[in-house]
């Protein structure tokens, strides 16, 4: 682990993994709160590291603290939920050294609707894998890689807001003449987007899409680029950005939902129905490296199909899709509001839901 000023969440993380690992190694990158005190209570190896505005360098230092056969990394605001903790212990007991890396799910929050994607989470130390990228660092693994549905759950503390820290790191990298690789170009654009700098983000995404970046990143870039153009009101470029994603893969649920939204705003409800139905019939595969939000192939298209069919005056179809949405999220306010609405609508027409 690398940590800095994580006194609010560090103990929660370390309590959730207590007894799982043979040892815990923590590198502190300059905490001024009680993080160091908490870390020393749990860590078998604790060290201080002089921050260099480079997350990969800090991660590589933390890896150097371990002499284990396999190394697993965590962030301070991550936890292992009980079921995942048990599954990880089972995996650990079965390790035979044949795998070079394990890809585990990263779950952004709790519940079945949380966004998930795979990360290179456990690596064999003898392979000498290293982190790269000053921001949004990653390990390029090779050899025998095993995918597991064990999840690390990311639980960002309440009150934490997006800062310009990562943009400042990028700025320093650029000032030093360190040109970004394709992955860093993508994440630079994402940082601009996250900080609300939509015009600049659009330019950065367009630049990235002209390069040789990873297809999954390009699909994500297309959707974010469309969102930038939505803010600026450029509907032609918004639509073009979404359609450009088809150059890299067949239609994904998230792109289909975005296209459904676009045509709904155009009052072209038949077109919107087409895209929302396609979203409902497509299932994203996190093993491709995609960011997967299950609701985009389930609840979201169902609830919007209900709205679209209502606008088209096809109330029975609308009510059926609303019930499909309710089967997925029975306590959702939109579903419950629609349910009452459709019951009144169909009753007034002498129809039975």
Mind listing the pLDDT tens digit for each residue in 168-180?
999 999 999 998 9
pLDDT band with cut points at 50, 70 and 90 for residue 157: confident
pLDDT beyond 60 at 260: yes
Residue 293 has phi, psi (to 5 degrees) of -110, 105
Quote the DSSP letter at residue 1: -
Beta strands in the chain (DSSP E): 2-3, 25-28, 45-48, 70-72, 78-79, 101-108, 115-124, 131-132, 138-139, 145-154
pLDDT beyond 90 at 53: yes
What average pLDDT does range 319-338 have in this prediction?
A: 97
Please give the Cα distance from 305 to 320 (Å, whole number).
9
pLDDT band with cut points at 50, 70 and 90 for residue 112: confident
* pLDDT for residue 158: 74
Burial class (CB in 10 A: 0-12, 13-18, 19+), 98: exposed
pLDDT beyond 70 at 350: no
* pLDDT for residue 349: 67
* pLDDT for residue 351: 58
Could you report the per-residue pLDDT of 192-223, keeping only the tens digit for each?
999 999 999 999 999 999 999 999 999 999 99
pLDDT band with cut points at 50, 70 and 90 for residue 348: confident
What is the reported pTM?
0.91
Measured from the Cβ of residue 181, the count of other Cβ atoms closer than 10 Å reads 13
Q: What is the largest CA-CA distance in the chain?
A: 74
How far the first Cα of the chain sits from its last, in Å, is 55
């Amino acid at each position: 682990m690398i940590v800095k000023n994580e006194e609010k969440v560090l103990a929660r993380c370390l309590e959730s993994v207590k007894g799982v690992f043979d040892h815990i190694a923590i590198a502190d990158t300059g905490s001024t709160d009680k993080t160091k005190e908490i870390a020393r209570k749990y860590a078998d190896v604790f060290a201080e590291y002089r921050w260099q505005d480079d997350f990969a360098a800090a991660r590589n230092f933390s890896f150097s603290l371990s002499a284990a056969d396999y190394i697993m990394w965590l962030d301070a605001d991550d936890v292992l939920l009980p079921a995942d903790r048990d599954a990880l212990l089972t995996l650990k007991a079965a390790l035979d050294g044949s795998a070079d890396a394990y890809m585990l799910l990263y779950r952004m929050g709790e519940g079945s609707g949380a966004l998930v994607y795979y990360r290179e989470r456990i690596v064999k130390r003898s392979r000498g894998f290293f982190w790269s990228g000053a921001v949004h660092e990653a390990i390029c693994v090779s050899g025998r890689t095993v995918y597991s549905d064990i999840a690390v759950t990311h639980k960002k503390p309440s009150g934490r807001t997006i800062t310009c820290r990562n943009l400042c790191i990028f700025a320093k990298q650029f000032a030093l003449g360190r040109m970004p690789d394709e992955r860093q170009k993508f994440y630079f654009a994402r940082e601009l987007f996250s900080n609300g700098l939509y015009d600049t983000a659009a330019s950065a995404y367009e630049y990235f899409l002209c390069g040789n970046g990873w297809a999954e990143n390009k699909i994500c870039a297309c959707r974010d680029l469309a969102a930038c153009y939505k803010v600026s009101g450029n509907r032609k470029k918004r639509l073009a950005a979404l359609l450009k994603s088809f150059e890299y893969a067949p239609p994904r649920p998230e792109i289909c939902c975005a296209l459904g939204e676009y045509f709904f705003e155009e009052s072209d409800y038949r077109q919107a129905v087409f895209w929302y139905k396609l979203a409902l019939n497509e299932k994203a595969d996190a093993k491709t490296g995609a960011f997967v939000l299950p609701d985009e192939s389930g609840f979201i298209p169902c609830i919007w199909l209900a709205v679209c069919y209502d606008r088209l005056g096809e109330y029975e179809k609308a009510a059926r899709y609303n019930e499909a949405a309710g089967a997925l999220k029975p306590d959702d306010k939109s579903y419950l509001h629609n349910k009452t609405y459709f019951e009144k609508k169909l009753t007034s027409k002498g129809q039975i839901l």
